[in-house]
Amino acid sequence: MATDRPIILITGANTGLGFEAVKALANSSTPYEIIVGCRTTSKGDDAVNQLQKEIKTSSSLSTLQVDLESDTSIEKAIQEITSKYGRLDVLVNNGGASFDPHIASGKLSIRDGFNKSWDVNVSGTHVLTHHAIPLLLKSSDPRLMFVTSGTSSMHETIAPDMPPPIQRINASPDAGWPKPAGLNPITTYRSSKAGLNMLTREWARILKNDGVKVWAISPGFLATGMSGLSIDMLKKMGAMSPSVGGEFIRDVVQGKRDGDVGKIVKYDGGIQPW
C-alpha cells in the first residue's frame, strides 16, 4: 500500500509507554501510519479500539504481532510490513521486560531471569532491528530508537553528585549476607539496558554513512506496570505519568532532538551519560 505518510513501528505498543507513544503520535496534527507491535494481537486490537474511542485522529492505526523472543515472529512481522508498505520510516524499539520481580519471588532462577531479560531487551531487539534495516533504508528520513532506562548509566553508578533518586538506587547496603530484599530490584533490568545502550552505539556506528538517525531514549521514571509495583506505589516514589514518555518519543520522531543523534536523550531535554 503506497502512502506518503511516515510509517512508524512501535514494539510493546499495546500498554504502558508504548501505548502512550502511539497515543501522542495519533493525537498529533501530522498523519501517520502507526503500527502497534504487540505479542498478542487481541491486546493490540483492544489498545487500538481504546485509542479510537479516546481521540479523533487523522492517523491510521494497525496491529502487528511481533514477539521479541521468536525469530519466526520477527521475520513474519517484517515480511508483513514489506508486503503492505515496502518501507519503514521509524522503528521505536520500546518492547522490553523486567524479570527482577520474578527472580525475587522465586518464579525464575537468577540465570533464567537474566537470560530472559537479555533475550527480550537486547537480543530480540537486535534481531528485529537487523531485519528492519532494509526497510528503513528505503525511507527518505529513517529514524531508529532504542528505549533505555535512567538506571542504565554506568557513569552515574560512581558519580557523587547525582540527584536523590539516582543516589538511592546506587547506594550500597550494609555489610552482611544475605542482603535485604530491595523494594524494587533492578539488577537484571538495568544490566540489560546498559547492554542496550552499547547496542545503540553499535547501530549508530554501523548506519552512520547510511543517513539513519539513531538515538537511545531515556523517558524518565514512569508509572508503568513493568516493575511489578502498583501504580500508586510508583507515584508515591515520584514516578511520572507514562504520557510524559510518550510525548517525548513523539518529539524525537518529529525532529526535536535531531541535534543529539547517537546519544541517550532524556525527556527533560538533557543527555544521559553512558
Find out whether 195 and 121 touch, Cβ atoms under 8 Å.
yes
Residue 242 resides in a domain: yes
| pLDDT of residue 222 exceeding 60 | no
For residues 212-221, give the mean pLDDT. Answer: 91
* Mean pLDDT computed over 105-123: 97
The residue-averaged pLDDT of 85-108 equals 95
Give the three-state DSSP class for 102: helix
Domain-located, residue 233: yes
Residue 103 is which amino acid? I
Q: Is the per-residue pLDDT at 233 higher than 90?
A: no
Between 82-86, 165-169, 255-259, the lowest mean confidence (pLDDT) is in 165-169
Residue 154 has pLDDT above 60, yes or no: yes
List active site positions. 149, 189, 193
Residue 2 forms part of a structural domain: no
3-state secondary structure of 12: coil
Percent of residues, the chain, with pLDDT higher than 70: 90
Residue 91 confidence (pLDDT): 98
Answer whether residue 185 is part of any domain: yes
- Residue 173 pLDDT level (bands cut at 50, 70, 90): confident
How many domains in the chain? Answer: 1
The CATH number of the domain holding residue 111 is 3.40.50.720
pLDDT tens for 115-152 read 999 999 999 999 999 999 999 999 999 999 999 998 99
* Residue 67 within any structural domain of the chain: yes
Whether the CB-CB separation of 93 and 197 falls below 8 Å is answered with no
pLDDT in tens, 34-80: 999 999 999 999 999 999 999 999 999 999 999 999 999 999 999 99
Is residue 1 in a domain?
no
108-117, 119-128, 237-246: segment of lowest average pLDDT: 237-246
pLDDT band, residue 243 (cuts 50/70/90): confident
**Strand, helix or coil at 87?**
coil
Measuring CA to CA, how many Å separate 35 from each of 143, 200, 262?
A: 15, 22, 24
- By residue range, what is the domain housing residue 199? 7-272
pTM of the predicted structure, to 2 decimals? 0.93
Instruction: Report pLDDT for 240.
Output: 63
pLDDT score recorded for residue 217: 97
- Please, what is the Cα angle at 197 between 103 and 106, to 5 degrees? 0
Residue 223 has pLDDT above 60, yes or no: no
Residues in the chain: 274
